[in-house]
Amino acid sequence: MLQHAAQTQAMAAQLAGASAFDPSMFQAPMMAGLGPIGAPFVAAYMAATTNHMASTAELIACMEAHSAAVQASSQAYSDTESSSSDGFKSLI
């Protein structure tokens, strides 16, 4: 379980690194290149990019929360397992 949590955390970090860019850096060159006629295209592109970035941020947060929950569950299971085996040893 801990290996799964570590892999999930690594995937979230990789996704965060891959999507860490500022979409507004494309807006000025696109507006300059396309001019006022291309403004609707630029607006649609920026909206789609912003939506994609928000979805990616939500996915990263979900993956990190899942990883933390798996780690907590694994720790709780480990604590339960060790306390029950200690109780069994005291009976022997």
pLDDT of residue 86 exceeding 60 = no
Q: Is the dihedral of CA 58, 60, 61, 67 positive or negative?
A: positive
pTM, full prediction: 0.66
DSSP, res 28? H
Q: Is residue 34 predicted with pLDDT exceeding 70?
A: yes
- pLDDT at residue 43, as a whole number: 87
Residue pair 16/88 in contact (Cβ under 8 Å)? The answer is no
> pLDDT, tens digit, for every residue of 42-69?
889 888 888 888 898 999 999 999 999 9
Mean pLDDT, rounded, of the chain: 82
Share of the chain above pLDDT 90, in %: 15
Listed range (4-13, 21-30, 45-54, 66-75) with the worst mean pLDDT: 21-30
Specify which of 8-12, 24-28, 29-33, 62-66 reaches the highest per-range mean pLDDT: 62-66
